[in-house]
A and B are shown apart, each in its own frame.
Chain A
Amino acid sequence: MSLAVRAWRALLAGLITLFVLNIGLMIAAVVTHSFARRWLGTWLPDGYTTAWYVAAWKEFQLDAVLWVTVEVVGAVVVLSILLGVPAAYALARREFIGKRALMLLFLLPLLVPPITYGIPLATVMYQVQLAGTLWGVILANLVPALPFVILVMTPFIEQIDPNLESAARVLGANTPRVFMHVLVPLLAPGILAASLLVLVRTIAMFELTFLTSGPDSQTLVVALYYAVFAAGVRAPQSVDAMAMIYMAVTLVWLLIALRFVNPTQLVSRVNEPGRR
């Protein structure tokens, strides 16, 4: 191996190590600060305490915020699966006029950034008085979640042998029974993967929730934004404690999700137009 190749490889390894190291230290700094009694310009804080977690929980009314988060994320996962899996089935099994247009319709919300369509969407929601309500937030979050489920599920359905469905029909099963007794059990791994991916993405979805939520319908990430935004009003440690709670919630679900899905699936389902 030539010297140039070795030097190049060392450079790449150095760059990626530097990147990962700094992100690790950034997270470590938040962890340390959230437990710090007082930390002003030294390497480590003067002392440690867990009091900021109690303070953050009370100040930011995290029990209410967490409950809203559970309701929003739960509803988005259930609705996107209930609507998305049948749609993916139709797209996977049938050829019809307008199929390409329909695929494009489902692809667009994943390609256009949320803040671009979130502002017109919030405007419409203010007109029909949905903005600020829990249902407004749920509907807004369905816009990227539903197409995501469809794109994840379509290849799963394509690989199931249609003969299994035909056999069930010959034996007298109607469409709902074929769905419940043949397809759903076979699709369970795909449905689980899609649910977990949507769950992780919805917990972290800031823009749409921010634009459509009111005081009683904030999810954890939006509450965190307001806490960071109003920093200075409260002790910075309690904002970091809240950031830790958000991080813990997200990472627990990410770890669960990574047992069932490939990390690239969190991003790469978005980019498959024209590649089959």
Chain B
Amino acid sequence: MRDRTILLAAPAALLVAALFIYPFAYGLLLSFEPPKGDWLANYTQFFSSDRLWPTIGITLKLAIPATLINVGFALPIAYRMRFPSRSQKSLTTILVVPITLGTVLIAEGMLTYFGPRGWLAQFLQLVHLYDGPIRLTHNYWGVLISLVISGFPFAFLLILSYVTGIDPVLARAAATLGAGPWAQFRHIYFPLLLPGLAMCFCLAFVQAFSVFPSAVLVGAPAGPTRVISIAAYEAAFELYDYSLASAVAMIMGFVQLAIVAAVLGARRLVYRGPVTGGKG
């Protein structure tokens, strides 16, 4: 009897192929069929236009610091909370809230709270921490803050799930051999965490690189935070040039892929060897 169980996966596979793979392939082809000019016209336009080309730099200038902050703070805090406890449970629950609410709500909250007349500005002026005008919205800082608010909890939860997957017996064995807290982290946890950290860095970066609603709502979408997704959106829905929009989307995907490949490649160079001791 032929096994027909595999066919159960067919409807789902067809749907994802039709709604994910096909649009990507279609977009790639469409990007080489500009309304006028030769087949590379969209790409030459992107790299020569001072409206389009700088968006890559602007986006990287937001995404790289945001990713470094998020992963850099999430690692020590998640490591500190690696043992099951009440505070671990309540912190994970609290940090799920900003992720669930999403960037649009965070943007509205930021406009109210971080705005020039918000509580934060009033507090900073009250304690004379900073007396100049406080501008944390509608500029670069607004978008960076919103990327940290949504990205830090994500990085924390991800790294926590990796850290808790490492058997604490390994570190205890090292401790009986005389390893202090730093040596335990440096020589036991860190090498085992590295694959997870690299993955977390990639996911956090890709998310930050595709920032869209907060760049519009709490940024300055005409200038300093005109990120690449805004350029793609404008090409598609304001100029109705789907060919150019597809080209921008492909470039966006390519930059993400390049950074991910670089990070995962660098990880191979830094550490080679068994990474067992994870969740198994």
Chain A residues with CB under 8 Å of chain B are: 5, 9, 12, 15-16, 19-20, 22-23, 25-27, 29-30, 33, 40-41, 43, 83-84, 86-87, 89-91, 93-94, 96, 102, 105-106, 108-109, 111-117, 119-124, 126, 139-140, 142-143, 146-147, 150, 200, 204, 206-207, 210-211, 221, 224-225, 228-229, 231, 236, 239-240, 243, 246-247, 250-251, 254, 258, 262-264, 266-268, 270-271, 273-275
Task: Give the interface centre of B106, B248, B253, B279 by most chain A CB atoms within 10 Å.
Answer: B253
**CB-nearest residue of chain A to B27:** A120
Q: How far is the CA of A142 from the CA of B14 in the complex (A)?
A: 12
- Tell me whether A228 and B19 are in contact (CB under 8 A): no
| B139 at interface, CB cutoff 8 A | no
| B160 at interface, CB cutoff 8 A | yes
Q: How far is the CA of A155 from the CA of B188 in the complex (A)?
A: 28
- Tell me whether A87 and B96 are in contact (CB under 8 A): no
Given contacts A102-B9, A121-B23, A250-B102, 7 further A-B contacts (CB under 8 A): A16-B77, A41-B117, A93-B5, A96-B6, A114-B210, A117-B253, A204-B101
Chain A residues with CB below 8 A from B6, complex form: 90, 94, 96
- Tell me whether B101 and A117 are in contact (CB under 8 A): no
Whole-angstrom distance between the Cβ of A50 and the nearest chain B Cβ = 18
Chain A residues with CB below 8 A from B105, complex form: 221, 224, 243, 246-247, 250
Chain B residues with CB below 8 A from A254, complex form: 96-97, 100
- Tell me whether A224 and B109 are in contact (CB under 8 A): no
- Tell me whether A143 and B111 are in contact (CB under 8 A): no
- Tell me whether B12 and A84 are in contact (CB under 8 A): yes
Chain B residues with CB below 8 A from A236, complex form: 111-112
Q: How far is the CA of A247 from the CA of B109 in the complex (A)?
A: 11
Q: Could you list 11 examples of A-B contacts with CB < 8 Å?
A: A23-B97, A40-B117, A120-B24, A122-B236, A140-B19, A143-B19, A150-B12, A247-B105, A264-B160, A266-B96, A267-B158
- Tell me whether A146 and B217 are in contact (CB under 8 A): no
Q: How far is the CA of A107 from the CA of B243 in the complex (A)?
A: 27
| B80 at interface, CB cutoff 8 A | yes
Instruction: Identify B8's interface contact among A30, A90, A105, A263, CB under 8 A.
Output: A90
Instruction: Identify B20's interface contact among A12, A93, A115, A143, CB under 8 A.
Output: A143
Q: How far is the CA of A91 from the CA of B12 in the complex (A)?
A: 11
Q: How far is the CA of A266 from the CA of B101 in the complex (A)?
A: 12
Chain B residues with CB below 8 A from A243, complex form: 105, 108-109
Task: Give the interface centre of B13, B20, B22 by most chain A CB atoms within 10 Å.
Answer: B20
| B73 at interface, CB cutoff 8 A | yes
> Is the interface on chain B under 10, 10 to 19, 20 to 34, or 35 or more residues?
35 or more
Given A119-B246, A275-B279, are A240 and B112 also a contact pair (CB < 8 Å)? yes
Given A83-B11, A94-B3, are A240 and B161 also a contact pair (CB < 8 Å)? no
Whole-angstrom distance between the Cβ of A111 and the nearest chain B Cβ = 7
- Tell me whether A121 and B100 are in contact (CB under 8 A): no
Q: How far is the CA of A231 from the CA of B115 in the complex (A)?
A: 14
Chain A residues with CB below 8 A from B22, complex form: 124
- Tell me whether A142 and B15 are in contact (CB under 8 A): yes
Q: How far is the CA of A270 from the CA of B161 in the complex (A)?
A: 12
**CB-nearest residue of chain A to B79:** A12
- Tell me whether B108 and A30 are in contact (CB under 8 A): yes
- Tell me whether B108 and A239 are in contact (CB under 8 A): yes
Q: How far is the CA of A242 from the CA of B2 in the complex (A)?
A: 56
The 0/1 profile, CB within 8 Å of A marked 1, for residues 72-103 of chain B is: 01001100100000000001111111111111
Instruction: Identify A83's interface contact among B5, B15, B112, CB under 8 A.
Output: B15
Chain B residues with CB below 8 A from A89, complex form: 5, 8
Task: Give the interface centre of A96, A147, A225, A236 by most chain B CB atoms within 10 Å.
Answer: A225
Given A16-B91, A119-B27, A229-B216, are A206 and B103 also a contact pair (CB < 8 Å)? yes
Whole-angstrom distance between the Cβ of A205 and the nearest chain B Cβ = 8
- Tell me whether B16 and A90 are in contact (CB under 8 A): no
Chain A residues with CB below 8 A from B248, complex form: 119
- Tell me whether A115 and B210 are in contact (CB under 8 A): yes
Whole-angstrom distance between the Cβ of A93 and the nearest chain B Cβ = 6
**CB-nearest residue of chain B to A274:** B195
Given A105-B21, A119-B27, A119-B232, are A87 and B8 also a contact pair (CB < 8 Å)? yes
**CB-nearest residue of chain A to B254:** A116
- Tell me whether B210 and A204 are in contact (CB under 8 A): no
- Tell me whether A266 and B9 are in contact (CB under 8 A): no
- Tell me whether B26 and A115 are in contact (CB under 8 A): no
| B242 at interface, CB cutoff 8 A | yes
Q: How far is the CA of A207 from the CA of B233 in the complex (A)?
A: 11
